[in-house]
Amino acid sequence: MTKRILVVDDEPYVVESCVRMLDLKGFDVRGAANGSEAISLYQEEKFDLVLVDLQMPGMNGLEVLRALKGYDPSVVVAILTAYGTKETVVEALRLGAREFMEKPVNLRTLVATVNRLLENNHRNIVRGSLHTLSLPTIVQVNSVERHQARLQVNHQGRAGYIYFSGGEIMHAEVDSLVGAEAIYELLTWEEGVFTLEMGVLPPARTVTDGWSGLLMEGLRRIDEHSVADSIGDSIGDSIGDKDSDNGDDRDWGQRPVYSISPKASEKIEHLLNELLVKVEGRCVLMTGRGGRLIHWQGDISKGQAISLAALVSGSFSATAEIADVLRDEGQARRFKQSLQESDDFSIWSVSANEALILSIAFGNEIPLGLVRVYTLQTAQEIKELLLDEMGQYDHQAEHEEFAGLLNDLDGELDGEFGHDIEAALDDLFGE
């Protein structure tokens, strides 16, 4: 029997993309633009799974979750969250949310998550990202609520476990560490995913200290041995890389940044997700000219994304040297695109402007012309979003810097966009 799914979000493009992807995978999907509409739909036609945005005007995601649980305690609800506070996410956990999915939603991950939730709907399992709920928060909630549960945390190929019972931590293990030392190690993991399964008994008692004391000691150790800043901020934190071509060796945290609004960041990531789906790509990257990973989406780890960003940047540095060799007297050449091919997949990169490179990895069975068409369209839409952001800069110097960056992007995409699309279509369909 076809599984029925309800998607609830006040952003039409989020509902549209989720509905379209899940419909392609054979689900019966409906969309709702607000909480009231969602509750009415659920009462009229029951659904196997509800995906609901946490932050919505009017009736928010918490209120929708509470109302649905009051009407049908067995309802399976996954929360979509981008800007939720710790308190709202914790309350959603207490109300029985089964999954916390970060926005913008990765459409490939969405399908896998939906399948897993529907397969395990009889088990009391909660899953999410440490970006959404930090490990100290998860420990505190499980201890205060006196859950009997097993928490599994996965981070860069490693797995750790914490067992709770009667308001205390009973056992913890990671690699060769057990007990308190395992907890202190796990507290240093700022990235990763967690899986909380209720009703699991601890295999042993290796922890005797209270949970609050363990958290304080673990956080004290972290303060003393500060963890290095992670490489590659999200695109919402920075889109600038103006110093990388000038030999500036300052730490990235000290470089000038050009911030964009969370809403624009979400839309850009949505566009990149759509690009992945359209060309059936493996991953898409946005990198700075200096090799800095700005953002990535796809079925690769952060470490792999960082390595690819460095390789992409290196390839453009190499083509710059080739341009010097091939330059005719009095004529400058500039390479705008780069293609690396292997036996089974390729990476195509476009120089969006002086600061940004857009790259996508895809299987060799996908026509290059198709990839070029959709990538150029995506670059154009991203450019328009960035242009809309110029109004947020109040200081004249910042405005001029940002305007210069966007003028580079505008000149390359507007002046030659039609020609590039025509060439891409020729590749795809011939004359």
User: Which domains, and CATH codes, for the chain?
Assistant: 1-105 (3.40.50.2300), 123-227 (no CATH), 244-429 (3.30.450.30)
pTM for this prediction:
0.50
Going across the sheet that includes 356-363, the strands are 293-298, 283-288, 356-363, 345-351, 337-341
Q: Distance between CA atoms of 363 and 350, rounded to whole angstroms?
A: 17
Q: Closest Cα to residue 292, out of 250, 246, 247, 244?
A: 244
pLDDT by residue for the chain (431 residues), tens digit each?
Answer: 889 999 999 988 889 889 988 998 999 999 999 999 999 999 998 899 999 998 888 899 999 999 999 999 989 999 988 655 667 778 888 888 888 888 777 777 888 889 988 887 667 888 888 877 889 888 988 888 888 999 999 999 999 999 999 999 999 999 999 999 999 999 999 888 999 998 899 999 999 999 988 988 888 787 665 433 332 343 444 444 434 344 443 333 333 334 556 677 777 778 888 888 878 788 888 887 666 777 788 877 777 888 777 777 777 666 655 655 665 554 545 556 778 788 888 888 887 666 678 889 888 888 777 788 788 888 778 777 777 765 555 455 555 555 554 444 444 444 444 454 455 445 444 44
- Which residues are within 8 A (CB) of 97 and not within 5 positions of it... i.e. 6 or more apart? 65, 77, 78, 79, 126
β-strands 149-155, 193-198: how paired? antiparallel
> 306 phi and psi, to 5 degrees?
-65, -45
Which residue type does 231 have? I
Three-state DSSP class for 41? helix
Q: Distance between CA atoms of 342 and 364, rounded to whole angstroms?
A: 8
202: preceding bond cis by omega (within 30 degrees): no
252 DSSP 8-state letter: G
Q: Distance between CA atoms of 279 and 285, rounded to whole angstroms?
A: 14
Q: Distance between CA atoms of 22 and 42, rounded to whole angstroms?
A: 18
